[in-house]
Amino acid sequence: MSDAPGTSLRSVLVVTAAIAAAAAGAAVWQSHQRSDTEPAREMTTMRDVAHDVSGRLAPPADADADEERAEREREGSQQGRGEPPPIPVLSVPAGSATIEQTTEGAKPAATIVESFDGLGAGFTGPQGVGRGGNPSDNSLAVGPDHVMQTVNGGGMAIFTKKGKVYDTTGKVLYGPVTVRNVFKDFTGNCEARSSGDVVVRYDQLADRWLIVMPLFSRGPVVEGQPVAQLPADGARASVVGVAGQPGKAAVLFQPPPPPPPDPNAAAAAAAAAAQRGRTGAPGQPPAGAAGPGRGQQPQGPYSMCYAVSTSSDPLGSYYRYEFLRYFFPDYPRPAIWPDGYYVPTSTGDNRISPEIATQKHACVVDRAKMLKGEPATEQCVIIHDVNFLNNADIDGKAIPPAGAPNIMVAAGGRQLDRIFEDNVINVWQFHVDWKDPSKTKVTGPEPIRVAPYHYLCDGQLTNCVPQPGSERRLDAQGDKIMARLVYRRIGSQESIVGVHSVNTAAGAGGVRWYELRVDRNRAVSLYQQGTYAPDALFRWMASPAMDRFGNIGIGYSYGGANTFPGQRFAGRVPGDPKGQLTLKEAVLVAGEAPEGRPGPGSQRWEDYTQTAVDPVDDCTIWYVGDYVKKEGTSYSTRIGAFRLPGCGR
């Protein structure tokens, strides 16, 4: 939510040691209006329910196919049920067009040095054929010798990367498997369940892989599970939820080739679907059973699962952790910072109460302990009536000054209150104290004035972006800053790059991007901004990166009424005119068919794309996004690597 012009606010949120439920009378930000003081944010400290170190990465667990399917269906249908909303009218506020870049850059495009298909339709690997649900929820991480990808429905794959170990890029070494395979023999909810929204990162500071898997279905009721708390309740550590944890490390093995297709599988699947229809939809209690708001039957907690590799080899072993969550852990966005792995989530897409529109969960887990495989804790803050949060994620190995708080950013406006326009982005400073959680503080929000903008398509879960050959329109996720929020330090310069999707004056969609700068006092200010909209087509759902030279590269979806959706990439070099992406567009992949089944309605497109900077040269920018092959009815993914001027010399 933005402040009205001329209004300023900087509140220090002293994090108390508890999670609090939404309470009547809690201070709520209203449209373009905030109080001068905020109540203390609710916080809980969570100790790991379980942790251990695995053996070498294993084959898929003997998964229950019905449960995997249920998880994919739950993620695909959890948001945006029912009839799609009307197609929004694409308007822009006064002043928005003044920073639109309406012509393509004149400099040569970034060089595409790698391009290959990832998970999705047409994928084949050692563990079988393509895996993935709708939307794709693409995530990508790149190490010295490997590329790791995850997609919705629990799909995970590992590819070769040309270098010291392999002579080619894109060969499938592992997958597709459900990500819970990483937690095999760990026991607990992380092994028992699959989920969407899995996100991967490569921690360049430690040369380790980080896998974060939220669980959208509740685990069993356990003694001492997290409950809604008030600030006066004080700190509370989660009780170990699995007997004998952390337990001994599990030795994992390489799977045999998948068995031949079962000719009776289709009939069995139909029977299972019919049975699910009698007992209730996936993730919902059976008809007549007590559920939320319908009885006193206790419910188990949600979980957030972490796996941190013990080396730079993603096929090696992992430390595994599970933290129980009282709140639904949707849309995690892991960010690497020296003092922790920061993971913000959203607790739902609907109003929390008549007084509270949104509820976001900003969490941080003890990175130093996890890298050593030691017991770790997690601290979480609840923030009401703000947009989706993103924490600054380090590119490269140059770190911020010792003790610098992590920087957290969200777009203004608020879709649930039908506030689709704003002229600020909001910034928080998140300082964690691992010795004394009562000293953990979140300071903000500090509104940073930017050019006015209107969420592309009025925000998320709207049927809006057209495509040829189909009445279906695609979702735009226009309400949020997209992953990743990039931090890069070059000498004394500290930059943060963020992007979101906005309406353009041509009646289409453009990539709004910002470079923020952080001064010696940790104050954040706008350095440059632009909206990339060189024609009347749609560019949306972008992801940025900054290389070691200060070049900015942005990958994004591209399409329109006469152009199938595909993936493109644009960029700039330091010294170019501010607000301009001066390199011509590079086409990673052109779409060949529309996304989705025939007929009217809305279609979830990606939900997000993602960049990653190569740790070997610290300048090759990797990117992954969706497209549909000719005659395809579901997405494929394309992974590419780009070099901007100066990289590769």
Taking only the tens place, the pLDDT of each residue in 597-638 is 654 444 688 988 999 999 999 999 999 999 999 988 789 999
**pLDDT computed for residue 141 by the predictor:** 97
**pLDDT computed for residue 19 by the predictor:** 35
350 by Cβ neighbours in 10 Å (0-12 / 13-18 / 19+) ranks as exposed
Which CA distances in Å does 8 have to 2, 111, 245? 10, 44, 48
Quote the tokens at residue 547.
Answer: 């290389």
**pLDDT computed for residue 598 by the predictor:** 56
User: How far does Cα 358 stand from its chain's mean position?
Assistant: 18
Quote the tokens at residue 486.
Answer: 């990039």
Taking only the tens place, the pLDDT of each residue in 154-170 is 589 999 999 999 999 99
Nearest by Cα to 354 from 20, 24, 80, 2: 24
Which CA distances in Å does 536 have to 328, 411, 420, 568, 625? 38, 24, 21, 15, 21
Distance from C-alpha of 558 to C-alpha of 474, rounded to nearest angstrom = 12
**pLDDT computed for residue 51 by the predictor:** 62
Give the residue ranges of the chain where pLDDT is below 70: 1-85, 131-132, 153-154, 229-257, 265-297, 597-603, 649
457 by Cβ neighbours in 10 Å (0-12 / 13-18 / 19+) ranks as buried
Tokens 């209006």 found at: 33
Tokens 């298909």 found at: 117
Amino acid at residue number 452: P
Domain boundaries, the chain: 12-18+38-257+299-390+407-643
Distance from C-alpha of 304 to C-alpha of 219, rounded to nearest angstrom = 11
Which CA distances in Å does 408 have to 227, 343, 344, 428, 640? 26, 10, 9, 5, 28
Q: Is the pTM of this model over 0.95?
A: no
Distance from C-alpha of 413 to C-alpha of 422, rounded to nearest angstrom = 6
**pLDDT computed for residue 425 by the predictor:** 97
The DSSP letter of residue 358 is: -
Written as one string, the DSSP assignment of 148-174 is: EEEEGGGEEEEEE-BTTTBSSS--EEE
Could you give the angle at the alpha carbon of 367 between the alpha carbons of 362 and 373, nearest 5°?
Answer: 130
Distance from C-alpha of 212 to C-alpha of 64, rounded to nearest angstrom = 21
Distance from C-alpha of 304 to C-alpha of 331, rounded to nearest angstrom = 11
The DSSP letter of residue 616 is: T
Q: At what angle do helices 265-279 and 65-78 cross, to 10 degrees?
A: 60
Tokens 């694409």 found at: 90
Q: Are strands 302-309 and 318-325 parallel, antiparallel or unpaired?
A: antiparallel
Distance from C-alpha of 169 to C-alpha of 457, rounded to nearest angstrom = 37
Which helix (H) or strand (E) covers residue 73, if one does?
Answer: helix 65-78
**pLDDT computed for residue 244 by the predictor:** 57
